Amino acid sequence: MPPVVRIEHLTKHYFLESVTVRALCDVSLTVEQGEFVALMGPSGSGKSTLLNLLGCLDRPTDGTYILGDDDISHMDDDRLSEVRSRYLGFIFQSYNLLPQYTVVENIEVPLLYQGCRITEKTRQRCIQLAELVGLGERLDHRPMQLSGGQQQRVAIARALVNDPHVILADEPTGNLDSRTSEEIMQMLIRLNEAGKTIIMVTHENDIAAWAKRVIRMRDGQIETDDRNTEPRIVQDVSSAFVSALNSLLSEAIQ
């Protein structure tokens, strides 16, 4: 199977008045389907810049990015947002939920971006995803009525709803206490067990310890890229969860 992500000689410069910030310099990387990658490195080393490029939220100054079968590097904005809503799922440190929407409505958002009509079938898909991440009793709650961990579960369900090629997470546990962080990481591990490719930025060794591969960045370049030979494991990766998720996601959206 070809890699799900392939970037070659990717460069990102920000031009600010008279200065050029070289945020990424000639980065090449491939990620295979089913990998769980942690991106680490000091502040300003280019982690978010790389994740934003991978997420088609920004465009490289130079270099090539192939996502699945699509060459992203020269796409116009419309195609780029189509690729983003179809093939990528996002999880952010601050959850980025819409405050006026309920749990189920927040999970539906990527479907709306994709131009899907919300039907009884899509609604059921979102309800089942909410149940799968443990929010079956909070379907009509709004983000303000949820704990941080619960909000991040909504974001995880939202990231899954379009059955993405890759889930991109920028410090998904950055706002959570250690016990809740653990729960969120266990959930990400379950998604990975179900075959989802995950690329996650983190500052914390404890969090990176769950990933199967750890890439460290410095000054806009990859400094090290190592297999984690003993990633932390979830004792009870439930095969029921994995098969429920896979059967849910295998259903066509429309």
- CB nearer ligand ATP, residue 47 or residue 213: 47
Binding mask 48-87 for Mg ion (x = CB under 5 A): x---------------------------------------
Of 48 and 181, the one with the shorter C-beta distance to Mg ion is: 48
| Count, residues near ligand ATP per rule CB under 6 A | 12
Judge contact between 98 and 109, C-beta under 8 A. Answer: yes
Please pick, from the candidates 4, 5, 35, 49, the single residue that binds ligand ATP as defined by CB under 6 A. 49
**Which amino acid appears at position 58 of this protein?**
D
Specify the residue, 126 or 199, whose C-beta has the smaller distance to Mg ion: 199
Distance between CA atoms of 80 and 59, rounded to whole angstroms? 9
Nearest Cα residue to 92 out of 200, 179, 205, 171: 171
- Is 48 an interacting residue with respect to ligand ATP (CB under 6 A)? yes
SS (H, E, C) 188-250: HHHHHHCCCEEEEECCCHHHHCCCCEEEEEECCEEEEEEECCCCCCCCCCCHHHHHHHHHHHH
Per CB under 6 A, the list member of 1, 16, 144, 240 interacting with ligand ATP is 16
Binding-site ranges for ligand ATP (CB under 6 A)? 14, 16, 21, 23, 41, 43-49
